[in-house]
Structure 1
């Protein structure tokens, strides 16, 4: 049976990390001067690349950790620290300036990865996969990941009207709120990892 609480948790967590609204101005800058058809193609290609990368880590990430002898609490703590750094960048407004050449496929880099499928989203997805205990929870995680990617595609596909609607001030406000929520998620990940280490699970 579908676990709606888990579905919402996956969707909200990845939504905050991947930040569809904050992606809009970056997408517009990377596709500036290109035809509308090229921009639309870049939108779905970027989402496809992101979904592929996250899916690969969701299925094989644990095997990679086992091969490298890395425990889940260690990954969880590292992921929390990483998300905290990302949250601080969102809160302080220190986003990187991304400039692409005219012949570069921006859908692959930097849009698909690392902008969308960055380390934070990969770690968060792997942690959710570890909580799967049946078809219901597995389907909930899958739908949450798919839902976020659909939202990302919609945000980039309709980026021009979205930007006209909320304007730069709205994007800035949403980015700051996302940073605050992401910092709380990061602290919770670190706290859970510390509890796991104390319990001797690390």
Structure 2
């Protein structure tokens, strides 16, 4: 049996925390559920996390099959995933990612606006936002999908290593669930300035991790050449 690589737990924790960005997603969830009753907020929080978990599990075990069907090597995907994560890191550092998330949230609210409501209160309080935009693409977005596939390739067929990867992913999704459930008091505590600062720091960390993915992919491809 291959050795257990406990570093996968730390690496997956850091990577998923950065690419999913619970602190950055929480304000979007707050804006989409603003004014709704507590039961609806709890239901949307649980459903969005569950759906994103299913999506990521699907890509974890079906992603390699898809690559083989497309005749794409894991090293090529590793390098391409690194480039994708690096671009995501740049967006986080320069706040482009937050702007796009806010634009998606505003667009969703405009599309679901009730023209008969003139009270100024949030409209259609019972609208289901769990699948879109929360689960996809907020939680199980391109960065998270690329990350789970990359880490599963690193874990290989070792079930313990795969379990460490899923543990890292699960912990971060659990953090998202907790933040969603506590989003109101949390946003008052953190504030916009602190949230923006944390996002930039996470972007720098993600850039370093992305560069490592790129280097590993290129090295693997050269060894096979």
Aligning the two structures, in what range does the TM-score lie when normalised by the shorter sequence?
Answer: over 0.9
Q: Distance between the aligned counterparts of 1:173 and 1:162, measured in 2?
A: 16
What's the offset of the Cα at 1:49? 1.1
| 1:125 equivalent among 134, 140, 148 | 148
Contact 1:2 1:140 in 2 (8 A): no
**Structure 1 stretches of at least 4 aligned residues deviating more than 3 Å after TM superposition:** 1-4
| 1:43 equivalent among 42, 45, 58 | 45
Contact 2:22 2:175 in 1 (8 A): yes
Q: Which residue of 1 aligns with 2:198?
A: 174
Task: Name the stretch that deviates more: 63-72 or 98-107.
Answer: 98-107
Contact 2:82 2:213 in 1 (8 A): yes
Unmatched runs of 5 consecutive residues or more in structure 2: 113-123
Backbone CA RMSD of aligned residues:
1.7
Distance 1:197 1:177, change over 3 A: same
TM superposition score normalised by structure 2? 0.83
Contact 2:81 2:150 in 1 (8 A): no
Aligned length: 201
What's the offset of the Cα at 1:3? 4.9
Say if 2:139 is the partner of 1:137: no
> What are the equivalent positions in structure 2 for 1:76-155 lying under 5 Å apart?
76-94=78-96, 95-96=99-100, 97=103, 98-99=105-106, 100=108, 101=112, 102=124, 104-132=127-155, 133-155=157-179
Q: Which residue of 2 aligns with 1:34?
A: 36
